[in-house]
Amino acid sequence: MDSSNGATVRSHCVGTTAVVYASDYLNKLTGERIERECRRQLDSGCRALVIDFGNTQLVNSIGISILLGIINIAEKNGAQVVFSDVNNQTVELFDMLGLTRHVALARNEQEALSNLSGLNPTPTLH
């Protein structure tokens, strides 16, 4: 759990998968906290990341850039990334900008974990 800058990012591990929960507005501050937490989880040996957007209403440009950075880092570490519980508006944004070419989307955390267990492999990054 990242607690730098006095704020925490909720996360937990299921086997070698880390589930990281995004906050209501994914901007620079919150985005960087999530990025730090994802790096930490990958450094400690996680092989897959689930970023849960269940509480996220809005993602701005900086949030997009940071998410792409997380995808890059995961790629370098040979890890898969799944976005779960993303609202319709944000799905449209991710689709429009091409993020969904690099990550799998899941309806919820459970589905994301199931997908990662081998039912539905995440596309590889280009």
Partner 1 sequence: MVPSTQKLIHTFGALADLGQEVANTGDFSEMVRTSMHLLLGTLALRRGAVAESGSGRVLTCLALWGLDEGLFVQLEIHEEDETEFLESELSALLVAQGQSAFLKRHQALLGREGIELIVPMVVQNKLTGFVLLGGKASGEEFSAEDFETIRAMVRHIGVGIHTHRLIEQVAQRAEENRRLYEELRAIYRDTVRAFAAAIDIKDKYTQGHSERVGRYSEIIAREMGWSEDEVEGIQIAGYLHDVGKLVVDRNIINAPYHIDAKLSSELNRHPAAGYEILAPINHPYADIPLMAKYHHERLDGRGYPDGLTDEQIPLGAKIVSLADSFDAMTTDRPYRRRRSIEDVVRDLRQNSGKQFDSKVVVAFARAILKELTGETKERRIIKMLGKGYLDGEQVPTLLSDLIVELDCNR
Q: Of these, 16, 65, 108, 110, which contacts partner 1 (CB under 8 A)?
A: 65
Q: Measured from the CB of residue 59, what is the shortest distance to partner 1 in angstroms?
A: 9
The answer to whether the CB of 63 falls within 8 A of the CB of 31 is yes
Q: Of these, 25, 40, 97, 114, which contacts partner 1 (CB under 8 A)?
A: 97
Cα–Cα dist 43/96, whole Å? 31
Q: Any contact of residue 60 with partner 1 (CB under 8 A)?
A: yes
Contacts (CB under 8 A) with partner 1, residues 6-35: 28
User: For residue 1, what are the CA distances in angstroms to 8, 21, 101?
Assistant: 6, 10, 28
The answer to whether the CB of 31 falls within 8 A of the CB of 64 is no
* Binding positions for partner 1, rule: CB under 8 A: 28, 60-66, 68-69, 71-72, 89, 92-93, 96-99, 101-102, 126
